[in-house]
Amino acid sequence: MAQGTARVTLLMDALKMAEMMQIVRTEGLDYARDLNADMLDGQGSGFWASQVDRIYDIHRMSETTRAGLANALQGSDLDATLAFFQTPAGERIVALENAARGAMGDDDIEEIARQNYRDLAQDGGNRLDLIRAFVTANDLLERNVSGALTSNYQFFRGLSDGNAFDMSEDEMIAEVWAQEEEIRADTEEWLMGYLLMAYQPLSDEELEAYIAFSRTDAGQALNRGLFDGFNAMYTDISYALGRAVALELAASEL
């Protein structure tokens, strides 16, 4: 068990998860500012700010993600996964992914990335085909859409449990599913724009090698683990944000 925990720590280090958690926190704080503007009329109190800071605690987010990753990797070939990401090529891929994820936090850069995908979708080409193969190998579109729908549902649950509104379970589910088509289109455009930007410096051969790894049992286990971990993290975050908004709304009415 101790050896397994140590190896998961090595993998977390190889994937630069500490850096990714900082990016997630930055994204979350930006999202919380939008929630404050849209749902609290920009009047969020000091308590709201402290709740947001707690919700996006890097240590807790990291531990939640680690648990999902460790569970999914039980019985998998962790040596193969570590071997891939500890090579210069693997290290470069992680660095490119994190840099692109951080850059997408800038609205102008995000729009450029989205437009690049829209343009390539019209023209086609080998690079777009490779990115689509990577998305398919890791089931990225379906998994991200599912995660977004789950997060929205948990946010509604948090609002409801905090007595911000009165909606039945069926009504919340219906409201979430009504957003599915819009979320799918937005997710596809964001995802493809992000991946095209992240992997632009890679040669076709390097990208093909990454796709080949993704299709192995070790690559599939890693992908499941990352989604399990991140989905658990975002489930907790979304519910907590809904509760925090509800509490803030209730306090403002006193």
pLDDT at 240: 98
Res. 210: pLDDT tops 90: yes
**Domain extents for the chain?**
2-252
CB 86 within 8 A of CB 11: no
Q: How is residue 174 annotated by DSSP? A: H
- Binned at pLDDT 50, 70 and 90, residue 117 comes out as very high
Query: Residues near 198 by Cβ (< 8 Å), separated by ≥ 6?
Result: 96, 97, 99, 100, 101
pLDDT at 6: 86
pLDDT at 254: 55
Residues of the chain above pLDDT 90, percent: 91
Q: Output the furthest CA–CA distance in the chain (Å, rounded).
A: 62
**CA angle 227–232–235, rounded 5-degree value:** 120
- Binned at pLDDT 50, 70 and 90, residue 77 comes out as confident
Res. 198: pLDDT tops 50: yes
**Cα separation of 210 and 215, whole Å?**
9
